[in-house]
A and B are shown apart, each in its own frame.
Chain A
Amino acid sequence: MARAGTAPSQDKAFLVLHRLRKAYDDTLAVDDLTLEIAKGELVAFLGPSGCGKTTSLRMLAGLTPASAGRIVVEGRDLTHVPPYQRDMGMVFQSYALFPHMNVARNVAFGLEMRKVPRGEIAQRVVEAIALVRLTGREQRRPSELSGGQQQRVALARALVIRPSILLFDEPLSNLDAKLRDEMRTEIREIQQRLGITSIFVTHDQVEALTMCDRIAVMHQGRLEQLGTPEDLYERPATAFVASFVGRTNRLKGIARGDTVETGGLSLRTCGTHQGDVVVMMRPHRIVLGEAGCVSADGRAVNRMTGCVIRTVYAGDVVQSDVRVADSIIAVEQSNRGSGELPAVGATVTLSFLARDTLVYPAAP
C-alpha cells in the first residue's frame, strides 16, 4: 500500500494503553485493552456495534473513568488526569457543536479556554476555518449548516487547539456516501499534513482499510488484532478478523496436516493443522473457469467443479454462489464487461491456491 505524506515514526510508543478495562454493572465493555501507537499514526478502532469502541475512546479522552489499566502519553500517565487537562481533541458522532455560538466562536472556544491571546486566537481561527474550507461561513450558527459543514466545524474546533491526540467517534456515519468519501480523504490529508496522532472509531471496514495506518479490530470488548490494513486482510489473526474484514467463505472441517476434509471436499491448505477447524477463503481469490490458477509446484492448487445456484450482478463485480459437493462457495469476479454472467445451473470449474486459504481452530 502506497501512503503519501510523512510516515509515522514506528520506533517510539507515543500513546500506550495498558490493560485498560471498563466494567459496567452487567457488562464488561472493554476488557484488557493493550496497545501502542506511534506519533503521527492514524489508527482505526474497528468492530461491530457494542464491541466497546466508544467506551475505549471515552476512557482515552477521560470522559469515562477506566475501571482498571493505564493510559500513558509520551511517558506521562494520564489515567487519573481530568479530561480538560488531557489535551486531546475529540470529534463526536453527533458533532456536539455549541448551538448558541456561531462557527467562529465554536472554533475559538478551545483557544479561549487555553487563555491564548486574542490576536492569536483570531488568526488561528481564521486558519482552522480555512483548513476545513469554511471561509465565509464564520458567522453562521451550527443549525444553519449542512451535515458535512457541521462535521468540518467539529473537525476545525478539535484541530485548532493542536491537540497531542485527535479522537474521532464515527464522525462520518451521519453523512451520505459521496460526502463520506470526500471527508475521509480530507481528514486523512489534514491529519497527515499536521502529523497529529489520531484514533478513528468506525464500524465501516472500508473506512478503516482506506484511511488508516493501522487498524485495531475489537470484538466483545477485546482486541482481536492490531495491524496494518494488509496484515488484517492477508493475515487475519483470528477467524473473527477474517470474517469481519472483507468477505470470506467459511467451511467447517477436520484438518490432517496440510489437508482439510470438509463437506465431501479435500482442500489443500496453507500450513499444517490438526483437528476441528474452519477454513476460509476470499471469494475474489477463487478463479472461475477451465484455465484456473496455476501454481509453481503444481500441487498447491485446489480445483473442483460445481453448479452455479445464484448470480448477482453488483456493478464492479459479479458474485456467484456455487454448490460444490455439500458446500456452497461464494465466488467473486471483477466485471470486465466482456463475459456474460455465469448462468444459473451451469457447471463450472473453481480453483484457488492453497496459500489463499485461512485455517483457524474451530470455536469450541
Chain B
Amino acid sequence: MNDHAPSTGLKILAAAMFVFLLAPVLVVVPLSFSGDAFLSFPPSSWSTRWYGRILAEPKIVAAFWTSLTLAATTMVLCLAIGLPAAYAIVRLRIPGAAFLTSLFTAPLLLPSIVLALAILIVFARLGFIGSFRGVLAGHLVVTLPYAVRVLATSIAGLPIACEEAATTLGASPLAVFRRITLPLMLPGIAATAALCFLVSFDEVVLSLFLTGPRLSTLPVEMFHYVETRTDPLIAALSVILVVITLAIVLLVDRTAGLARTFAR
C-alpha cells in the first residue's frame, strides 16, 4: 500500500494496538496447557490433557462437525448466490441495482440481536428451528451482505477492456467469464469464501436463537459449556479455533494476497 517507511512513533502505536487486541487471545494459549481443574491464570501446573479431553465430549465433537459443515455450506451458497448478484448489480446495471445493494447490505446494519429475534419469529412458524436448513438460512442472511459487498468491489475493479479483448478474439460470453473474469476475480472470491466461512463458523447470536436440542453449533456449545463448567477444556478448544482461523487467513494470503483482497 504505502511506499514510505512508517515512523518510529507509528510503529510503537501499532505495537501497542496489537498487544491490546491480541493479549486476551495470547492468555488463552498458556491457559489451554494448564494442568489445573479450574480456569486460573497463571496455571499452577502444565499438561496437554485438556486437548485430549475435548474428544471425550460427544456434544462438542458433534457441534464441531455441524459448524464445519454449516460454514462450508454457507460459503458455497454465498459464492453461488453472491457472484451472480454482484455481477448483475455491477455489470448488467439492472434496474434497481442501488436498491438491491441496500437490501443485500441491510442485515449488516441491524443489531444482530434484533435480526435474530425477527428470524426466530418467522422461522418458528415454518418449523425451521433446530434444523440444519434453519441455521443455514439464518447464517446466509448475515454472510451474504459480506459476499455481495466484497464480490461487487472485486468485479468493479476488473479491467473491462480485457474482457472485450477476449470477446474480439472469439471467446463467447461463457468462455470470457471462465477464462478471464473468473481468474481475475480469484482474489475477491478467495476473500469472500474465507470471510463467509469464518463469519458462519463463529456466529453466536443467531445460532443461539436458531439451534435446538437436536442440533447445535460449536460456539453455542462452548457458550453452554462455560455456563456450567469452569475447566480449561474451553481454552484448549479456543486455541484450536484460533489455529483454524489463522490457517484459513494464511491460505487466502498465499493464494490471493490478503492486502490485495480486502483493502482494494
Of the candidate stretches B4-12, B47-55, B170-178, B237-245, the one touching chain A is B170-178
Interface assignment of A100: CB less than 8 Å from any CB of chain B? yes
A62 to B164, CA, bound (A): 10
Q: A100 and B183: CB pair below 8 A?
A: yes
How many Å from the CB of B182 to the closest CB on chain A? 10
Interface assignment of A109: CB less than 8 Å from any CB of chain B? yes
A105 to B183, CA, bound (A): 14
Taking CB atoms, residues of chain B closer than 8 Å to A83 are 164, 167-168
Interface assignment of B180: CB less than 8 Å from any CB of chain A? yes
Q: A89 and B184: CB pair below 8 A?
A: no
Interface assignment of A364: CB less than 8 Å from any CB of chain B? no
Taking CB atoms, residues of chain A closer than 8 Å to B229 are none
Taking CB atoms, residues of chain A closer than 8 Å to B165 are 90, 92, 96-98, 154, 157
Q: A110 and B162: CB pair below 8 A?
A: no
Q: A113 and B168: CB pair below 8 A?
A: no
Closest to B175 in A: A113
Closest to A105 in B: B179
Interface assignment of B72: CB less than 8 Å from any CB of chain A? no
A161 to B183, CA, bound (A): 23
How many Å from the CB of A232 to the closest CB on chain B? 29
Closest to B183 in A: A100
Q: Quick one: given A98-B180, A100-B183, are A84 and B162 in contact (CB under 8 Å)? A: no
A313 to B167, CA, bound (A): 49
How many Å from the CB of B74 to the closest CB on chain A? 28
Taking CB atoms, residues of chain A closer than 8 Å to B166 are 98, 109, 113
Which of B161, B166, B170 has the largest number of chain A CB atoms within 10 A?
A: B170
Q: B168 and A84: CB pair below 8 A?
A: yes
A98 to B171, CA, bound (A): 13
How many Å from the CB of A94 to the closest CB on chain B? 5
How many Å from the CB of A168 to the closest CB on chain B? 12
A128-181 at interface with B (beta carbon < 8 Å)? 154, 157-158, 161, 167
Give the size of the chain B interface in residues (CB under 8 angstroms).
Answer: 18
How many Å from the CB of A154 to the closest CB on chain B? 8
Interface assignment of B56: CB less than 8 Å from any CB of chain A? no
Interface assignment of A88: CB less than 8 Å from any CB of chain B? yes
Interface assignment of A299: CB less than 8 Å from any CB of chain B? no
How many Å from the CB of B119 to the closest CB on chain A? 40
Q: B169 and A92: CB pair below 8 A?
A: no
How many Å from the CB of B171 to the closest CB on chain A? 5
Q: How many A-B residue pairs have CB under 8 A?
A: 68
Q: Quick one: given A98-B166, A98-B180, A100-B184, are A113 and B171 in contact (CB under 8 Å)? A: yes
How many Å from the CB of B174 to the closest CB on chain A? 10
Which of A87, A109, A158 has the largest number of chain B CB atoms within 10 A?
A: A109
Q: B170 and A110: CB pair below 8 A?
A: yes
Q: Quick one: given A96-B159, A98-B180, A109-B179, are A161 and B170 in contact (CB under 8 Å)? A: yes
Interface assignment of A336: CB less than 8 Å from any CB of chain B? no
Which of B168, B170, B175 has the largest number of chain A CB atoms within 10 A?
A: B168
A248 to B141, CA, bound (A): 68
Closest to B172 in A: A84
Q: Mark B176-218, 1 if CB is under 8 A from A, else 0.
A: 0001100110000000000000000000000000000000000
Q: A110 and B169: CB pair below 8 A?
A: yes
Taking CB atoms, residues of chain B closer than 8 Å to A63 are 164, 167-168
Closest to A115 in B: B170
How many Å from the CB of A74 to the closest CB on chain B? 18
How many Å from the CB of A108 to the closest CB on chain B? 10
Taking CB atoms, residues of chain B closer than 8 Å to A84 are 167-173
Contacting B184 at CB < 8 Å: which of A97, A99, A109, A161?
A: A99
Q: B161 and A96: CB pair below 8 A?
A: yes
Contacting B161 at CB < 8 Å: which of A87, A94, A158?
A: A94
Taking CB atoms, residues of chain B closer than 8 Å to A90 are 164-165, 168
Q: A109 and B169: CB pair below 8 A?
A: yes
Contacting B168 at CB < 8 Å: which of A61, A94, A99, A100?
A: A61
How many Å from the CB of B188 to the closest CB on chain A? 13
Closest to A163 in B: B168
How many Å from the CB of A56 to the closest CB on chain B? 15
Taking CB atoms, residues of chain B closer than 8 Å to A158 are 168-169
B136-177 at interface with A (beta carbon < 8 Å)? 159, 161-162, 164-173, 175
How many Å from the CB of B126 to the closest CB on chain A? 44
Taking CB atoms, residues of chain A closer than 8 Å to B172 are 84, 113
Closest to B180 in A: A98
How many Å from the CB of B154 to the closest CB on chain A? 14
Interface assignment of A114: CB less than 8 Å from any CB of chain B? yes
Q: A89 and B168: CB pair below 8 A?
A: yes
Q: A96 and B169: CB pair below 8 A?
A: no
How many Å from the CB of B167 to the closest CB on chain A? 5
Taking CB atoms, residues of chain A closer than 8 Å to B167 are 62-63, 83-84
Taking CB atoms, residues of chain A closer than 8 Å to B179 are 109
Taking CB atoms, residues of chain B closer than 8 Å to A92 are 161, 164-165
How many Å from the CB of A151 to the closest CB on chain B? 13
Q: B168 and A88: CB pair below 8 A?
A: yes
Q: Can you report 11 A-B residue pairs in the complex whose CB atoms are below 8 A from each other?
A: A61-B168, A83-B168, A84-B169, A84-B170, A85-B170, A96-B159, A109-B169, A109-B179, A113-B166, A113-B175, A157-B169
Closest 6 CB pairs of A and B: A110-B169, A96-B161, A113-B170, A96-B165, A90-B168, A83-B167
Q: Please give the residue numbers on chain A whose beta carbons come within 8 Å of chain B beta carbons, in ascending order.
A: 61-63, 83-90, 92, 94, 96-100, 109-110, 113-114, 154, 157-158, 161, 167
